[in-house]
Amino acid sequence: MAGTINQDCSQFSPCSLAKALTLAHLYVVIDSGNYANAGTIVLSNGRWLIGRGTRPVLTNPMHGPIIQLNSGANVRLANLQISDATASSSLEGDGVDCQSDGQPANRSLVLDNMLFLNNSGIGVLGHTCTVAARRSAFRSNGSGGMQLADLDSTIDRCEFSSNAGYAGLYTDGGVVHITNVFAFHNAKTGIDSESDKPGNVIEFSTIVDNGGAGLVLGSPGATASNNIIARNTMGPVQCANPPCTYTGSIVSAGNDVTTLHFVSPDTQPYDYHLTAGSVAIDAAVTATLDHDFDGDARPKGGGRDVGADEAQ
Amino acid sequence: MNMRSIILVVALGVFGCTKHNPDSCCSTTQECSSLGIDQITGCDSGKACNGMGTCIAAQCATSADCTSVGLPVCSSQLCVATCATDNECVGIAVRPLCAPDGVYVGCIDDASCGASAPVCDTTGRACRRCSEDIECASNVCIDATGTCATVDEVIHVSTFGGDGNDGSVSAPYRTLAFALTKVTA
């Protein structure tokens, strides 16, 4: 049935395309509060979910992921907390699943100011999915903070902390660009970049106090410059495909971090921002990055600081 | 001095200055009073009153003519430091408004900005693209374009809402699952 501009766009009174476009609701804004959705929220096509005010908390009282992206989905999640997903024998307990085996690698996920907390699986599982994450935290998830594969991704100004599983941040298959990341107190590796594609970049990140190696590099010619990698149980770096280069990085195999002058490296809440006197201050080699974890401008003072923080 | 001379001097004093001195002027009653001029008195064409009672050559027609640093505003044909009305800001590129503090600006608040640059930057006092959702009335900044979604493009969800509502900001839905059924893209 051909619609007209005078009809209300309902199923039985369809309207013209011109009018339908004027009525299109494209974005969902969610007010503060707790939202327990019984089952996984499945997103297709373009969907933006944006929290307003204090991060709304999205949970799933059933087993399974809290959010799942279908093939072709193009999703932006902003200012939300994704918490407490649980697994069953057949369902993963991930916060967000952006993957499906055997389907086209055509999903994209943008994360801004998100918190993935205490999910029994991975905070974000991104296979067959391009991910761009900034200003987000991945804490205390049972199988890792974030796991990415297959497609290229960018991670900036994110925290991966206290996650169990293999790594705070694990990447494989795609080219990743990781900047201004704090990775600490993860049960095993802080950041694991396994991709065999050249061009991976991990820079200006602080990787400290992880239970495995601080940084694992699998790709040939990986650039890991201007990072602080210190006091990790299994050593600072594992280089699977030598030579690996760490230009400008402070790489320490020991347990003494006193010269780094972190705010609170030994007592909770842990804080690895820099304080005056740190050897990391103004010590970075040539770079172009213009901001730090907090969004503060780089450089400040005589040069850029090594690690995720530019001391203020 | 004889009597004839005295009468002449007195007559000149009383009647001799009734014609306006073309180089003297005042723009307000108070200014005229302070300058000893009876009434508001303008200058001849091509001249402007300099505020000290003197007509001088006009400096500008619009603020575009004022190129001196520190004197960017054309007011009454003179280049001055501050504005009093929006009309005085005409000709100043991308700064068409007069703020209450007399500074010509690109915007006073977000309402003075257009859709392509919807945010009034409080530091630069100029309209710019949005970069954060909270900068938009709709709470949605489309970062690819730096523009804000319109209020009509947004569905709202609140713990105080109801799924029988219309999803507007004043009548939000209750559940995210229901709200997603209303997304039409």
A71 and A199 together in one domain: yes
pLDDT tens-digit profile of B72-127?
888 889 898 888 888 888 877 778 889 999 888 989 999 989 999 999 998 889 99
pLDDT of residue A10: 47
Please write down the HEC assignment for all residues of chain A: CCCECCCCCECCECECHHHHHHHCCCEEEEECCEEECCCCEEECCEEEEEEECCCCEEECCCEECCEEECCCCEEEEECCEEECCECCCCCCCCCEEECCCCCCCCEEEEEECCEEECCCCCCEEECCEEEEEECCEEECCCCCCEEEECCCEEEECCEEECCCCCEEEEEECCCEEEECCEEECCCCEEEEECCCCCCCEEECCEEECCCCCCEEECCCCCECCCCEEECCCCCCEEECCCCCECCCCEECCCCCCHHHCEEECCCCCCEEEECCCCCCCCCCCCCCCCECCCCCECCECCECCCCCCCCC
For A9, the domain range is: 1-31
A36 and A11 together in one domain: no
Query: Nearest to residue A205, comparing CAs of A222, A187, A218?
Result: A222
A231 and A149 together in one domain: yes
**Prediction pTM value:** 0.84
Of A55-64, A123-132, A291-300, B62-71, which range is least confident? B62-71
Beta-strand relationship, A81-83 and A115-117: parallel
Q: Determine, yes or no, domain membership for A263.
A: no
The answer to whether the bond into A56 is cis (omega within 30° of 0) is no
Q: How confident is the model at residue A24 (pLDDT cuts 50, 70, 90)?
A: low
Distance CA A181, CA A160 (A): 8
pLDDT of residue B16: 47
pLDDT tens-digit profile of A90-107?
899 999 999 876 777 788
B155 to A25: CB separation less than 8 angstroms, yes or no:
yes
A160 and A202 together in one domain: yes
pLDDT of residue B33: 87
Percent of chain B scoring above 90 in pLDDT: 37
pLDDT of residue A26: 81
B139 to A52: CB separation less than 8 angstroms, yes or no:
yes
Flag whether pLDDT at A64 surpasses 50: yes
A29 to B139: CB separation less than 8 angstroms, yes or no:
yes
What's the N-to-C CA distance of chain A in angstroms?
Answer: 64
**What contacts B159, CB < 8 A, 6 or more positions away?**
A31, A32, A33, A34, A35, B174
Q: Which position has the higher pLDDT, A190 or B144?
A: A190
Flag whether pLDDT at A84 surpasses 90: yes
Q: How confident is the model at residue B39 (pLDDT cuts 50, 70, 90)?
A: confident
Residues of A with CB under 8 A from a CB of B: 20, 22-35, 37, 39, 41, 43, 45-50, 52, 58, 78-79
A16 and A140 together in one domain: no
A61 and A11 together in one domain: no
| Residue numbers in B near A8 (CB within 8 A) | none
A161 and A80 together in one domain: yes
CB of B153 within 8 A of CB of A27? yes
A113 and A148 together in one domain: yes
pLDDT tens-digit profile of A109-118?
999 999 999 9
pLDDT of residue A198: 80
Mean of the pLDDT values across residues A161-172?
A: 96
Flag whether pLDDT at A298 surpasses 70: yes
Q: How confident is the model at residue B22 (pLDDT cuts 50, 70, 90)?
A: confident
Query: Nearest to residue B78, comparing CAs of B59, B97, B91, B95?
Result: B59
Q: Determine, yes or no, domain membership for A173.
A: yes
Chain B (158-177) residues lying within 8 Å, Cβ to Cβ, of chain A:
158-161, 167, 169, 172, 175-177
Domain boundary among A225, A241, A256: A256
Q: How confident is the model at residue B29 (pLDDT cuts 50, 70, 90)?
A: confident
pLDDT of residue B6: 57
pLDDT of residue A36: 94
Q: How confident is the model at residue A290 (pLDDT cuts 50, 70, 90)?
A: very high
Of B158, B161, B183, the CB nearest to A25: B183
Of B134, B152, B159, the CB nearest to A31: B159
A10 and A81 together in one domain: no
What residues are paired with A59 via a beta bridge? A36
**What contacts A183, CB < 8 A, 6 or more positions away?**
A159, A160, A161, A168, A169, A190, A191, A205, A206, A207, A208, A210, A214
Minimal-distance CA residue of chain B relative to A48: B140
